[in-house]
Amino acid sequence: MALIVQKFGGTSVGSIERIEQVADKVKKHREAGDDLVVVLSAMSGETNRLIDLAKQITDQPVPRELDVIVSTGEQVTIALLTMALIKRGVPAVSYTGNQVRILTDSAHNKARILQIDDHKIRADLKEGRVVVVAGFQGVDEHGSITTLGRGGSDTTGVALAAALKADECQIYTDVDGVYTTDPRVVPQARRLEKITFEEMLEMASLGSKVLQIRSVEFAGKYNVPLRVLHSFKEGPGTLITIDEEESMEQPIISGIAFNRDEAKLTIRGVPDTPGVAFKILGPISASNIEVDMIVQNVAHDNTTDFTFTVHRNEYEKAQSVLENTAREIGAREVIGDTKIAKVSIVGVGMRSHAGVASRMFEALAKESINIQMISTSEIKVSVVIEEKYLELAVRALHTAFELDAPARQGE
């Protein structure tokens, strides 16, 4: 008999009908003999609705109180599913994060899980009950409700699987696995049988929101077998694995990630003296603004241009900090651009293949897409381009790296 943690996302519990369907599915698994812990998201759209309510009161809700409101979405779905299970004759009980005692730090809206008390859950499983846990939420040492950041129910699922030493953590969602790129953007995207934790972590960090970044970190750290599956269609899904060898038969690139979350700032005509990068980025980091990509041009006329990207939400704040800096250090001007997108190719195969970046640049050049910034690591190459070319770029790269699904007969 296996112990499985099953997490169902927002669309999978988005209506009463869907919740009844999830209950049927859980019942079937339970009858097959497995012990089950089920983690749920709020109904799709609910978390946004709750945030919007808070924003109608104030632009900047107190983070602690925002957690009190946004955590309620998951409390609704766990009760409904538990009722649906009991109605079907399946013994079940629901718990909020606080009731389990999922202890987190106090970083409201982006808390990290520190410890999970597994006593209650184990006792219930022993009594034959299905345990239904609210995703996305925990409690800090002061007893305040915390939440784990958007998409955080994935992390609750993986963390519970790690704490309970579950045989597998299954993430049920509205796609039947992890694809070579977002199937909503590229219809030719292919489902991957397997992907390594390392690649999945890059994909998630670079914008593929199919799994929350922290859930992948957690699964890698505690070696939790993790699988992404469709909630209502049968199929093997995608296994996230530590085994690099097994995915070696795949192409050099496993996937293409992209995001539209960033904005670009350039400070021009900066006197080129030692310490210039620190003078520019010091005040940015002191304002708690995270910087992603950085490019400093070679100096000419003893001045240099310095460009970096930040999250779009922090663009205005970063711009005003940078304008202050420009005045202080005598730089010529600050310019910015919010209409950019970042496209990244990811794959462990890059380690053993040369020329991957140039193949990427060639594919973009063929579409006359201008590359504004580049950054690389061992298993990824990212470029910043004009936002309006995003979909074209992703499709061109998907084809150039031979990721397209074979056309079906007659197509």
Q: Which positions touch ligand ADP (CB under 6 A)? A: 9-12, 41, 151, 173-175, 178-179, 181-184, 208-210, 255
Cβ closest to ligand ADP, residue 183 vs residue 225: 183
106 C-beta neighbours (distance < 10 Å), count: 14
Q: Is 232 annotated as contributing to ligand binding?
A: no
Residue 182: which of Mg ion, ligand ASP, ligand ADP, none does it interact with, CB under 5 to 8 A by kind? ligand ADP
Q: Is 282 annotated as contributing to ligand binding?
A: no
Cβ closest to ligand ASP, residue 11 vs residue 376: 11
Residue 202: which of Mg ion, ligand ADP, ligand ASP, none does it interact with, CB under 5 to 8 A by kind? none
Phi, psi (degrees; rounded to nearest 5) at 116? -125, 130
169 and 217 Cβ atoms separated by less than 8 Å: no
User: What is the spatial distance between Cα 107 and Cα 66, in angstroms, rounded to a whole number?
Assistant: 12
187 C-beta neighbours (distance < 10 Å), count: 9
73 binds ligand ASP (CB under 6 A): yes
- The span of 151-159, 173-181, 237-245, 364-372 binding ligand ASP (CB under 6 A) equals 151-159
Phi, psi (degrees; rounded to nearest 5) at 306? -135, 125
- The span of 125-133, 152-160, 219-227, 401-409 binding ligand ASP (CB under 6 A) equals 152-160
Residue with the closest Cβ to Mg ion? 151
Smallest distance, ligand ASP to C-beta of residue 397, A = 28
Cβ closest to ligand ADP, residue 179 vs residue 308: 179
Smallest distance, ligand ADP to C-beta of residue 211, A = 8
Identified binder of Mg ion from the candidate list 151, 152, 207, 255, rule CB under 5 A: 151
Smallest distance, ligand ASP to C-beta of residue 10, A = 5
DSSP secondary structure string, 152-186? THHHHHHHHHHHTT-SEEEEEESSSS-BSS-TTT-
User: What is the spatial distance between Cα 229 and Cα 139, in angstroms, rounded to a whole number?
Assistant: 29
3-class state of residue 100 by DSSP: helix
User: What is the spatial distance between Cα 81 and Cα 22, in angstroms, rounded to a whole number?
Assistant: 8
Smallest distance, ligand ASP to C-beta of residue 391, A = 25
User: What is the spatial distance between Cα 21 and Cα 326, in angstroms, rounded to a whole number?
Assistant: 58
Query: Whole-angstrom distance between the N-terminal and C-terminal Cα of the chain?
Result: 45
User: 282-320 burial by CB neighbour count: b if 16+ within 10 A, else e?
Assistant: ebbeeeebebbbebeeeeeeebbbbbbbbbbebbeebbe
289 and 262 Cβ atoms separated by less than 8 Å: no
- The span of 8-16, 122-130, 300-308, 378-386 binding Mg ion (CB under 5 A) equals 8-16
Smallest distance, ligand ADP to C-beta of residue 156, A = 11
308 binds ligand ASP (CB under 6 A): no
Of 281, 254, 255, 253, the residue nearest 267 (C-alpha): 281
Residue 135: which of Mg ion, ligand ASP, ligand ADP, none does it interact with, CB under 5 to 8 A by kind? ligand ASP
150 binds ligand ASP (CB under 6 A): yes
User: What is the spatial distance between Cα 232 and Cα 212, in angstroms, rounded to a whole number?
Assistant: 21
Smallest distance, Mg ion to C-beta of residue 298, A = 42
Annotated binding site for ATP: 7-10, 173-174, 179, 184, 209-210
Annotated binding site: 7-10, 47, 74, 173-174, 179, 184, 209-210
List residues near Mg ion by CB under 5 A.
9, 151
